[in-house]
Amino acid sequence: MLTRVLCALGLTLLAALPAAAQLTDNFSDGDFTANPAWTGDATSFQVTAQQLQSNGPAVTGTQLQLVTPVQAVTGTVWEFWANLRLATSGGNLADVWLISEQADLKASGNRGYFVRLGGTPDEVALFRKDATGSGTYVINGADLTLSSSTNNLVRVRVTRSTAGAWNLERDLTGGTTYVSEGTATDNTYQRSQYVGVLLTYSSANNRSFYFDDFRVSDTNAPLLSSATPQSGTQLDVLFNEPVAANTPASAFRLASGATATSAVRDANDPGLVHLTFAGTFPLGQSTLEARNVVDLFGNVASGPLTATFSYSGTPIQPGPNQLLITEILADETPQVGLPASEFIEIYNPSATNPLDLAGVRLTKAGASSAAVFAAGATLLPGEYAVVCASTRTAQFAAFGKVFGLTNFPSLTNAGDQLLLRGRDGRLIFEVNYADTWYRDNSKKDGGWTLEMVDTGNPCGGMDNWLASTDASGGTPGRQNSVRASNPDRTAPALLRAVAATPTLVRLQFAEKLDSAQAANPALYSLGSGGPAVQRASPVPFDFRSVELTLAAPLTVNQPYTVTVQRATDCVGNAAGPATSGTLALPSVAARGDVVINEILFNPRTEAVDFVELLNRSDKYIDLQGWTITRVRPDSTLDSRVIITDAYVLAPGQLAVLTSRPDVVQAQYPSSNDPAAFLPALTLPTFPDDAGSVVISNAQGLRIDRFDYSEDMHLALLDTRDGVSLERLRPDGPSRGANFHSAAGSVGYATPGRRNSQFLAESANSQQFAVEPEVFTPDDDGQQDYTTLRYNLDAAGYAASVTVYDAQGRLTRRLVRNETLPTTGFFQWDGLTDSSRKAPIGYYVMLIELYKPGGGSKKEYKKTVVVGARL
């Protein structure tokens, strides 16, 4: 039996992208959705008699498409059989794409090559599709080749040599006695992701297209196209086709004998390899030799393949992290000593290589325009320069080299993401600064710059930036005042894994990753029971996230363990041998699944509020789009979105919401868990005396509400500032009786950790039970209160609970005629009715229980002891 195969041959199987492969497909198994998988308008195709047949809507002007991943581009033969059982015309034709950059063949910006069957000339022709326009002839086949109105049978073979020479052949009997339609040379596009078919038809021809015997083969070894120095030690090597991702550095050496120390395939162009050498290239011409380089199909270029390049020490175009932003003034007022104008400082960290800045673009993430460095702009090794608006250049002339740029971006005081891009669009440097990086509230208010601490740690983020300590407010054009050794020796940690959709998993790491390394899907696994990872896509521009595309959908609410075999940060620290995390496809939250577990509404001076959520259900729940709301006394609402990205809470997991995670963590250094903090958000203003907090999901369903009051705090506290209210029982109601002041022994709050006043579920089945029978109300977090639990045989009972001392004197009216559910509890904090601490000794709880419907009363007595720690 003939089979369908989509595989990368030889040693490159694990190294290749999952889309890379040779193709053989004759549809003999009656299926086009697997081995290989053709995707697109799949519901509009079917397999009939072991042939792929169109079966789309009978609507004139319809276009249908199917594609399957193939990356073969040069030294390649494409073959297929087709039968168009219709009269071809401008509205009835088939385009068979041999090379396509996109999965959407209809996209106006797609680029590649296709064979057209039919069209107005009724021809078999080869076209090139550019980003604009509908197509340009490469080989114009003879007109009226497909002239039948019912049976246009043809087998097509297209060959492209490694030199870019195309040959288009066809056999109108469907056999292999080919006749050439012509030859041509075209090397415009050297990269591909897909092959596919794109059909256009009128209503009567929706089932008239048949295809079979697709075959794509590449038996040619890769060729070395060029070698281009990016610095004195870095060389970009370009091949004529994609090569294996694990091509070793030892495959590359200079004719002088120097061997590359690292080789990294580009994340976006699999035919481009970035080489690094230990020593600086000699001046003048050098020759690179490559041996035993393997393409995605197992073809080995034993070599040596050679390419010459020249290094003159003249300015070179900067590559990643070869041009840095090292200082930022976003808030220029009040003026301290620097010009009252926004600026950034750039720096060339190389000791030997001057940089050619011509065409380098400075922009903000998401901006439609950029500030572009003019021709002739250079930055010498170790040199700093000020970059500002073109109208402000004169203000900075005294600080040394200044680049005044048109369209200099406006810098937001609170924070922005700034990007430097090369003239080819490649990302050179990214910094996503925030005013929290100052760590100094007075300097944050304006006039002071943010400075990079260690230029050898360009990806350090917040940990590598501080407020300037220079008396003038900054150090534009010279070494930073905060400069110090601050190397990154920590491997990137996996913070969380989230199922964004059934087939898309997002991994969040603690620091920036090497995007080229992170793009290898073989590094990721969801375990033996999980679907395979098809594609790994580092998320620009800070590359702290990686999106994994899965081969099959996840099952709702089923936990999976995602394992990362190796994660490498942008300075080369690698995590190994594996790091892992748990994820699950979330289910829909119901009311009460997530509850308010802790709230700080009266923070200390210079501190901030926080609200802690608890997932008390057995579900995995996504908080994306949820809101936190303050209900004002006039019933108006002040709502804020908790998080805009997917963020899944596991059963029992906590999430802390606050505007300043760093401040909350500093206020409670031994009683917080940083991993539980969501990204900073602007909380509603919660009054110190009383208020209402509401949590709602993305559809507006109220999930939980808590009406708090400062009177819920323990009356014995010297101050309530900085003391949170904690939920006692996770499964209890969101009412004041189920909350208590956090214990002083833990610092009066536990953001992200189990509550200090946590009350475990009791196994006691008595109608009334006191736990503990001896308690010490001293706010140390250990038996600070006692709980009277009840377990009734029916709903509707009413009860009063009164506490008496050993002499029978009234101590506390705890409950007065309160209607009870079948189970619950009352809490006594050891205070009298006058809010004083009850003396040490024995006490009796008198419980008066009234039957539903006004029936008889029963009385119960429980003994409890108020003690003290010696």
> 113 is in which domain, residue-wise?
5-218
Is the pLDDT reported for residue 851 higher than 60?
Answer: yes
pLDDT for 649: 93
Q: Same domain, yes or no, for 133 and 155? A: yes
Same domain? 376 vs 460: yes
Verify that 75 and 23 share a domain, yes or no.
yes
pLDDT tens track for 254-313? 998 999 999 999 888 899 999 999 988 887 789 999 999 999 888 999 889 999 998 867
In a domain, 565, yes or no: yes
Please state the domain count of the chain.
6
Look at strands 545-550 and 841-850 and give their pairing.
Answer: unpaired
Q: What is the pLDDT of residue 200?
A: 97
Residue 143 sits in a domain whose CATH number is 2.60.120.200
pLDDT computed for residue 5 by the predictor: 33
703, 720 in Cβ contact below 8 A? no
Strand-pairing partners, residue 523, are: none
Same domain, 304 and 247: yes
Whether 342 is in a domain gets the answer yes
Query: In angstroms, how far apart are the furthest CA atoms of the chain?
Result: 115
**Structural domain includes residue 477:** no
Domain finish residue from 183, 218, 253: 218
User: Is there a contact between 538 and 267 (Cβ–Cβ < 8 Å)?
Assistant: yes
Among 5-19, 262-276, 317-331, 852-866, which is the least confidently predicted range? Answer: 5-19
**Of the candidate ranges 89-98, 147-156, 264-273, the one whose mean pLDDT is the lowest:** 264-273
pLDDT at 729: 86
Confidence category of residue 766, pLDDT binned at 50, 70, 90: low
Residue 474 within a domain? no
pTM of the model: 0.48
Same domain, 156 and 52: yes
**Res 760: pLDDT:** 65
Interval 420-429 mean pLDDT:
92
Instruction: Please answer whether residues 693 and 705 qualify as being in contact, where contact means their C-beta atoms are separated by less than 8 angstroms.
Output: yes
Domain final residue pick, 218, 237, 254: 218
Asked if residue 750 lies in contact with residue 672, where contact means CB atoms within 8 angstroms, the answer is yes
* SS3 per-residue string spanning 685-753: CCCCCEEEEEEECCCCCEEEEEEEEHHHCCCCCCCCCCCCEEECCCCCCCCHHHEEECCHHHCCCCCCC
pLDDT at 236: 93
pLDDT in tens, 491-513: 888 888 989 899 999 998 888 89
Q: Please tell me the predicted confidence (pLDDT) of residue 416.
A: 93
Extended beta strands in 468-593, E state: 494-501, 504-509, 524-525, 533-538, 545-550, 560-564, 567-568, 574-575, 579-583
- Averaged over 819-835, what is the pLDDT? 86
Instruction: Specify the DSSP element, H or E, that contains 786.
Output: strand 786-791
CB atoms within 10 A of CB 820: 19
* pLDDT, tens digit, 9 for 90 and up, residues 566-614: 889 888 888 776 778 888 999 999 999 999 999 999 999 889 999 999 9
Co-location of 23 and 154 in the same domain: yes
- Side by side, the strands of the sheet bearing 284-290 are 252-254, 284-290, 305-311
pLDDT of 4 over the 50 cut: no
Q: Which of 328, 324, 293 is nearest to 307 (CA)?
A: 293
Per-residue confidence (pLDDT) for residue 20, from 0 to 100: 36
243 and 372 inside one domain: no
Q: What's residue 297's pLDDT?
A: 86
645/500 same-domain check: no
Residues 791, 676 contacting (CB under 8 angstroms): no
Mean pLDDT value of segment 423-446: 92
Residue 419's pLDDT is 95
Q: Are residues 834 and 799 in the same domain?
A: yes
**Do 610 and 735 share a domain, yes or no?**
yes
Least confident of 250-259, 418-427, 753-762: 753-762
Neighbours of 675 (CB within 10 A): 13
pLDDT, mean over the chain? 90
Domain membership of residue 89 (yes or no) is: yes
Residue that finishes a domain, picked among 218, 244, 277 = 218
What long-range pairs does 672-678 form, CB within 8 A, spacing at least 24? 672/750, 672/751, 672/752, 672/753, 673/751, 673/752, 673/753, 674/752, 675/495, 675/752, 676/612, 676/751, 676/752, 676/753, 677/751, 677/752, 678/623, 678/642, 678/643, 678/647
Q: Looking at residues 612-638, what average pLDDT do you find?
A: 95
Q: What is the percent of the chain with per-residue pLDDT over 90, rounded to a whole number?
A: 67
> pLDDT, tens digit, for every residue of 313-346?
778 899 989 999 999 999 999 999 999 999 999 9
Same domain, 506 and 463: no
Question: Does 837 reside within a domain?
Answer: yes
**Residue 336 belongs to domain with CATH number:** 2.60.40.1260
Query: Per the domain annotation, does 540 fall within a domain?
Result: yes
Q: Is the pLDDT of residue 6 over 60?
A: no
Looking at residue 730, its amino acid is P
Top pLDDT among 575 and 219 is at 219
Asked if the structure places residue 447 within a domain, the reply is yes
Are β-strands 384-389 and 402-405 bridged in parallel, bridged antiparallel, or unpaired?
Answer: parallel
CA distance 195 to 103: 9
What are the tokens at 655? 């999430």
pLDDT for 761: 59
pLDDT score, position 123 = 96
Q: Would you state the pLDDT for residue 765? A: 54
Residue 580 has a pLDDT of 80
Q: How confident is the model at residue 1 (pLDDT cuts 50, 70, 90)?
A: very low
Same structural domain for residues 203 and 138? yes
Predicted confidence band at 551 (pLDDT cuts at 50, 70, 90)? very high
> What's the whole-number mean pLDDT along residues 672-691?
92
* Per-residue confidence (pLDDT) for residue 13, from 0 to 100: 31
The whole-angstrom separation of Cα 339 and Cα 773 is 70
